[in-house]
Amino acid sequence: MYRVDEAWKLEEQFWHAGTAGRVHEYYARVLAADAFVVIPGHVLVREDLLRQWDERAAWSQYELSERRIVLVNGETVVLTYRIEAEQTDGSAYQARVSSMYTWVGGWALAFRQHTPDPELTVDMAVK
């Protein structure tokens, strides 16, 4: 049996990497080869994600809440939660996030979707 708590640790590492401006490094290590992320108006594939995070401002703080986990089968897990974050320029970000990890000798991020809360102020669009 795969440890689903390890998938949560990876998800937390994503946000922590964002506070250090190291999301590119995180994605290079964790993304499945055919992974993609859905944000309002865009579907970003691995190459898009790696390029985008080289140019994005770091988060100054974040908080994950309302966590849920679903073990889809022995090799796939879906995590959902609410994120409240603030960028170093003071811009706020609030969204519901769903992430799917698959087991390939370790957990790999295959899919993530951000659904903004109405108060969203940070534009997650490709830059």
Does residue 60 lie in a domain region?
Answer: yes
Residue 119 has pLDDT above 70, yes or no: no
Residue 31: CB atoms within 10 A of its CB come to 20
Q: How far, in Å, are 31, 33, 94, 111 from residue 43 at the CA level?
A: 15, 15, 19, 10
What pairs with residue 59 in β-bridges?
Answer: 87
Supply the pLDDT for residue 57: 75
Residue 53 has pLDDT above 80, yes or no: no
Does residue 123 lie in a domain region?
Answer: no
CA distance 112 to 95: 12
- pTM (2 d.p.): 0.84
Please say whether the beta carbons of 99 and 78 come within 8 A: yes
Does residue 101 lie in a domain region?
Answer: yes
CATH code at position 84:
3.10.450.50
Query: What tokens were used for 56?
Result: 């994005």
Domain range for 19 is 4-116
- Per-residue pLDDT tens for 15-36? 999 898 888 888 889 999 999 9
pLDDT band at residue 121 using 50, 70 and 90 as cut-offs: very low
Tally of domains within the chain: 1
Does residue 125 lie in a domain region?
Answer: no
